[in-house]
Structure 1
Amino acid sequence: MTGESEFESRLDRLIRRVEAWNYAESDAGAGLPVEIAKELGLLAADAPTASLRRTVRAAQDALDDGLPAETVAAELYRIRQELSSS
């Protein structure tokens, strides 16, 4: 298969948004984090494997627990790594 799947494209866009949030002065309960939470839910629903779905949910849990954006991004990078190794 050539090119990125839709899931991978959405993952990359989400990673960029989380990285932008990391450098923004933003409350964890408003604005961009809320949008990211919605996107994580959609990404989890569309994950092609159960393993990827679990990792997306780990990113959701990190966000829900109020952990820093770096932690959320780390979970998303784990998904990217899992995709590239499969």
Structure 2
Amino acid sequence: MKERLQFGHRLNRLIARVEAWNYADSDAGAGLPVEVARELKALAAAAASPGLKQGVRRAQDALDDGLSAEAVAAALYRIRAELDAGGTQGVSPPPPPSPSR
């Protein structure tokens, strides 16, 4: 359980980085994709199940294929949804507050 929670926290940090990359006004250059690839490799090694590992590989493939940061983020969100479905509480960030009426 502790490993899944740590995996989830690392996943959330990576999602935040990829989202920042996606919304950046300037080109990330070669450095950020290389760092994301390194973190994806570490996540794959730490994956607690074959399904999670396969999800990380999909994100790696999206990055390797030169797809957008948005496509990489989408693959990472699917991994987080799988973690949440597996009963790991506290992995997803809390939902945003609902608007006032």
Residue in 2 that maps onto 1:38: 38
Unmatched segments (≥5 aa) in structure 2: 87-101
* Aligned twin of 2:9: 9
Query: 1:26 aligns to what?
Result: 27
Q: How many residues align?
A: 84
| 1:31 shift after superposition | 1.1
Equivalent residue, structure 2, for 1:52: 52
Alpha-carbon RMSD across the aligned residues, in angstroms, is 1.7
Deviates more, 1:61-70 or 1:17-26: 17-26
Residue 57 of structure 2 aligns to a residue in which SS? helix
Aligned 8 A contact 1:21 1:33 in 2? no
Q: Percent identity?
A: 63
3-state SS of 2:61 partner: helix
**With structure 1 as the length reference, what TM-score do the two structures score?**
0.90
Q: TM-score, normalised by structure 2?
A: 0.78
- Structure 1 stretches lacking a partner, 5+ long: none
Q: Which has the larger helix fraction?
A: 1
